[in-house]
Structure 1
């Protein structure tokens, strides 16, 4: 592994970590595009790698900071987590069957829709 690749991976990790703690995004919104743009990953590789990073409790320290301030509703988090696992399973099965170009388009449209909603809401 070259030093350029290692530095790119460090940059992706730092940016994803900072933005995850700051605004709750990191995996899909930061890691996936940067893995594609900086390292030439396919959309499938980027999404799979992003999900693999999240298998370990990478957000535990950030969660603890929010918990200390009283900003976590554990009941809601538990319900979302259970169904996130189920949704993640089915979503991955669908994504694997899609062409990379279509997957990139779906990913981009979802980001645009979310960004537009957040930018235009009062």
Structure 2
């Protein structure tokens, strides 16, 4: 691994971590496109990288910071979602590896567009 690659990986991690902590995005939304664009990864490789990074509870400290600063988190909810995420991730991966990379990339992009439109135009957050 060259110094250039190490610096690129550090930049990718810092950017994903910063955006995860500041606006709640990181894994799929940031790391997948950056891995494709800057590391030359395929869609499958980029998704695998994103999941591998999340395999370790890297965002626990960020979540705890929100909790500690008065943004109450229900840790029971987080635990239930995390357990379900493990199973959903397993079955979702089984499906993803059977899909052609070009189609998978399009599905990924459409999901990002749908989420973006919903976030921009339809607010449903509790005050």
Aligned residues: 122
SS class of match (2:38): helix
* Alignment correspondent of 1:84: 85
* Alignment correspondent of 1:99: 100
Q: What stretches of structure 2 of length at least 5 have no aligned partner?
A: none
What are the residue-to-residue correspondences of 1:28-47 with 2, within 5 Å? 28-47=28-47
Cα deviation, residue 4, structure 1: 2.5
1:51-73 superposed Cα distances (whole Å, 9 cap, x missing partner): 11111121121022012124211
Cα deviation, residue 3, structure 1: 2.7
SS class of match (1:31): helix
Question: Normalized against structure 2, the TM-score is what?
Answer: 0.90
What are the residue-to-residue correspondences of 1:8-23 with 2, within 5 Å? 8-23=8-23
CA distance in 1, matches of 2:114, 2:61: 30
CA distance in 1, matches of 2:69, 2:85: 25
CA distance in 1, matches of 2:5, 2:56: 22
CA distance in 2, matches of 1:69, 1:79: 23
The structure 1 segments of at least 4 consecutive aligned residues displaced by more than 3 Å after TM superposition are: none
Cα deviation, residue 121, structure 1: 1.8
